[in-house]
Amino acid sequence: MDKTKKHFFLIDSFRGIASVWLAAFHILPSYLSESGWLLSLIEFGRIGTDFFFVASGFVSAIACYKILNSYQNSEFTLKRMKKIYSLYLYSLTLALFVVPFLISLVSFLKSQELVFEFNIPTLYELFLYVSLLKVFTSETWSLHQAFVNINGVYWFIAVMVQIYLFLGVALRFKQKFYIILTSTFFLSLLCLVEGFRQHLPVGLFLPHFSKFFIGMALYFFILKRPIHQKHLVTSVLVVTCISLLGLVIYLHINEFKGYGFRLLSALTVALFLYLLYPLDSLIKNSIAGKATLWLGRFSFSTYLNHVIFWPFIYMFVSNLIPFPLSISAPLVLLPLVILCCFISHKFFDNPGLSYYLKHLKRFFFAGLNRISSLRP
């Protein structure tokens, strides 16, 4: 494995698949209630969240490995938190103001009556949302309930920010970093026991840390991959992966949704990625690979914003497309939602808010200079 490698096409490709599948899981079941097998396949997309934990752990492990080997400074966690937090604030602005405003304008074009329906929280609630402390107000460990009035997927951001804070502290103790992470992982496994989980504050990152840790372990196993490249070991891993996948599918069909299921799905995803890693360089050269890599480039925007754009796009699809929603939802609604997420990514995620602020500042001072030059 190339230790200096920055882009892992396999992770990026699967991130794109996971984001679309997760969006389909949230959007399509409302319109496909009579399609049993198809509905079950779409609902299997809920493991996309587990993949995002694994992928985040994998990417974090790359940075942590460089920090621990003095290849870069320990500001990784702050930079990572700054990036995802800025994207979260942008998404929150979309959810609270921008999309409701657009929906009101579309309603005005239809009814000629301008009515704004903003879901504005109180100042205290807004503080909880902005600070992500809202996750600690959830009544149960179904953390999405804390954010469901605006965007249920925000719980993932709240948990990830806690994990990055924890990593930042752990990296201060370089000599004991692996001990701290491994100990926290075993504590996370104890969260599988409901009695232990009841003693934790609802909203704490610990029950989800095991999936993140599996992603970190995946990187270190790939790092040592030449040691394990034996036909017998590979055969055992393939059989194990197939067995785990069959078990996860069986549990999904029988509607098991607990922490044990999510941990198994994360482990299966990580093992699957490990076995497919030799194909990493081939992905960028295939048509399917290029398509999934393109989806992967704005997967975080898709993950964060698909729920926000859903009602806005639904207004058009339900009124303009002359087909039942069971047909138009997967063929039109979902692709348009993903397109909106891509546009959102191009305007904010890439190149980012700092880019626009810099050019706005340049435009502002250029205007002042122009006005000054016109004075007699």
Q: pLDDT tens digit string along 192-225?
A: 998 888 899 999 999 999 999 999 999 988 887 6
Q: How many angstroms separate the CA atoms of 291 and 284, rounded? A: 9
pLDDT: which is higher, 19 or 38? 19
For 332, residues 6+ apart whose C-beta sits below 8 A from its C-beta are 317, 321
Provide the 3-class DSSP secondary structure of residue 245. helix
Token readout for 238 is: 């393939």
Neighbours of 59 (CB within 10 A): 17
Range in 144-153, 171-180, 227-236 the model is least confident about: 227-236
DSSP readout, 108-122? Answer: HHHHS-------PPP
Q: Is the pLDDT of residue 4 over 50?
A: no
Q: Could you tell me the maximum CA-CA distance found in the chain, to the nearest angstrom?
A: 86
Token readout for 129 is: 């949302």
Question: What confidence category does residue 356 fall into, taking pLDDT thresholds of 50, 70 and 90?
Answer: low
Residue 86 burial class via C-beta count within 10 angstroms: exposed 0-12, middle 13-18, buried 19 and up: middle
Distance of CA 125 to the CA centre of its chain: 23
* Angle of the 48-68 helix axis to the 9-27 helix axis, nearest 10: 150
Range in 106-110, 293-297, 361-365 the model is least confident about: 361-365
At position 309, the amino acid (one-letter code) is F
- With a pLDDT cut of 70, the percent of the chain lying above it is 85
Q: Is the pLDDT of residue 51 over 50?
A: yes
For 320, residues 6+ apart whose C-beta sits below 8 A from its C-beta are none
Query: Within 13 A of 165's CA, how many CA atoms are on the CB side?
Result: 10
Token readout for 202 is: 């609802």
Q: How many angstroms separate the CA atoms of 236 and 219, rounded? A: 20
